[in-house]
Amino acid sequence: MQAFQTAFFFHFKEQIRSKGFRITSIVMSLIILGFFAYNHFSAGDEEVRISVLNTTSYQIDENLLMDQIPGLKIETTSEDKLNQQIDKIKEQDLDHFIVVKEKNSLPVLSYYYHRMPNARVIYAFSAQLQQQYFTTVAGENNLSAEVMTELLQTIPVEEKMVAENNGSLGIVYVFIFLMYTFILMFGQAIAMSITGEKSTRVMEVMITKIKPIYMLFAKVLSNLVAGLLQVSIFFLSGYLAYLLGWIETDQLSIFGFSFDLSQVDAGLILAFVFFFACGYLVYALCFAALGSMISRTEDLGSVIGPVMILVMGALMVGIKTMIDPTGPLVTFSTYFPFFSPIVAYSKYVMGELSMLELLGSGAVLVVSILLIAMIASRIYVKGVMIYGEKFKWSNIKGIMKNE
C-alpha cells in the first residue's frame, strides 16, 4: 500500500505541476470570468438595428417600439431601396428589415433577417398593426368601444408543470460539456503516458520497483483527483463572478440554456461528483488497458478509436436527452455503463428519473466499473511486458485466457 501511495502522489503532483494543467486552469478560468463579465457589462447596450419600409396607411409608432425593444435603432426607407436593405442584412450591416404592405385592406408583414429571427421584434410590429387593423374594422362596422375591448381580451393560459423540477438545461449542458472534455483530455493523457513509458523503456525500471496493478490504479485515480480539482477551479471562477455581481441569478443562461441556481443543492452536487467520477473511470480504465498494449505512440490513435467512438456516442445521446429525456434510446442508455454517467445525471437534473431508477443506474455503473477494472488490470499487467509486437485485438483475447 505504501508503494501505491507513493505512485499516486507522484502522478498527482506530476499532473498538477504540468504546464498543460496550469495553462488550461488559468485560460478556462479567465474565459469563464470574461463570459460573465461581457454579459454583465454589455447587457442593455446592444443595438438592435431595424429598417422599416411602410407602403400602407397604417402608422408605426417608434416610441412604442423603443419601449418594447431595448437598444432599438430604427430607420425608415423607400421602396426603391428594398434590395439594398436586403443586401445589408446579408452583410450583417442591418439586423432586421420590416416591409409592411397592404392586401385587401389587411396589413401584411414581411420580415427579413440574417439567420435567427427575433420573436420580440416580430411581436412588437405585428401587435401594433393588429391593434390598428381592429380599430379600422370596428369603425367600418360601427362596433362600440366595449365590444372592441372584449374582442381584444387575451385568453389566459394557466401553466402547471408536473415534473418534480424545472429541469434546468443549463446544468445539463455544463455537465455534458465537462464530462466529454475531461474524458477526452485526461483519458487520452493516461494512454499516452503509459505508451510513452513503454516506448522509452522507463516501464522496465518501474515494474521492478512497484507492482504493475498499483501503477495502473495510481495513474487512473491521481488523474481523477486532478480532474475534480480542475473542475472545482472552474466552478470557483463562476462563484467569483457571482460575488462580483456579474451573474443575475434570475436571468442566468448558458448559450441560450436556462441555468436555475436554485436547483443546485447538496444532492445535485453529490450526484455530479459521483457520475463525473464514474464516467471518467469507465473510459480511463479502457484507455489505460489499450495504452499498455502499444509500444509506439504513433499507433495510439488507431487503437483507441473504438473507445473514442463510444465517447462520441455518449455525447450524442446526452444531447438527445436534453431534447427527449423519455425516448427508448435514452431509457436504454440510462443503464448502459458507457452512456449512463451522462444520461442518468441529465435525466435526474431534468426531473425525469425517480430515486429508484437513479440508484439502479448507479448500482449497474459501479458493478460495471468493477468488472472493467478487473479486465483492464489483467490486460495492463500482461500488456506492459509486451514489446515490439504490432497491436492485434486477438492479443487481448489471448491475455484474458491466460492467467
- Kindly report, residue by residue over 155-190, the tens digit of the pLDDT: 776 655 555 555 567 788 888 888 888 888 888 888
Where is pLDDT greater, at 246 or 13?
Answer: 13
Amino acid at 167: G
* The last residue of a domain, from among 151, 184, 213: 151
Are 132 and 192 contained in the same domain? no
The pLDDT assigned to 163 comes to 56
Greatest mean pLDDT range, 97-111, 309-323, 357-371: 357-371
Q: Is residue 40 part of a domain?
A: no
What is the identity of the amino acid at 5? Q
Domain carrying residue 92: 48-151
Query: For residue 250, what pLDDT is reported?
Result: 63
Q: Tell which residue, 308, 360, 306, 304, has the closest CA to residue 337.
A: 360
pTM of the shown model:
0.72
Q: With bands split at pLDDT 50, 70 and 90, how would you rate the model's confidence at 361? A: very high
Give the Cα separation of 313 and 246 in Å (integer). 35
Percent of the chain with pLDDT over 70: 89
Q: Which set of grid coordinates corresponds to residue 284? A: 480511463
Res 238 pLDDT > 90: no
Decide if 251 is inside a domain: yes
Same domain, 76 and 224: no
Residue 15 resides in a domain: no
Q: Based on the fold, state whether residues 223 and 342 are members of the same structural domain.
A: yes
pLDDT in tens, 269-327: 898 899 999 999 999 999 998 888 887 777 777 788 889 999 999 989 988 888 888 88
> What total number of domains does the chain contain?
2
Q: Is residue 23 part of a domain?
A: no
pLDDT score of 229: 92
DSSP state letter for 71: T
DSSP track, 71-129: TEEEEE--GGGHHHHHHHHHTTS-SEEEEEEEETTEEEEEEEESSS--HHHHHHHHHHH
Are 129 and 182 contained in the same domain?
no
Q: What is the pLDDT of residues 320-346, one digit of tens each?
A: 888 888 889 999 999 999 999 999 988
Segment 106-149, tens digit of pLDDT: 889 999 998 888 888 888 999 888 888 888 888 878 877 777 77
Cross-strand bridge partners of residue 61: none
**Is position 28 within any domain?**
no
Q: Which pLDDT belongs to residue 269? A: 87
Domain boundary among 83, 116, 151: 151
Confidence class for position 3, pLDDT limits 50, 70, 90: confident
pLDDT at 279 (0 to 100): 92
Interval 52-70: pLDDT, tens: 999 988 888 888 888 888 8
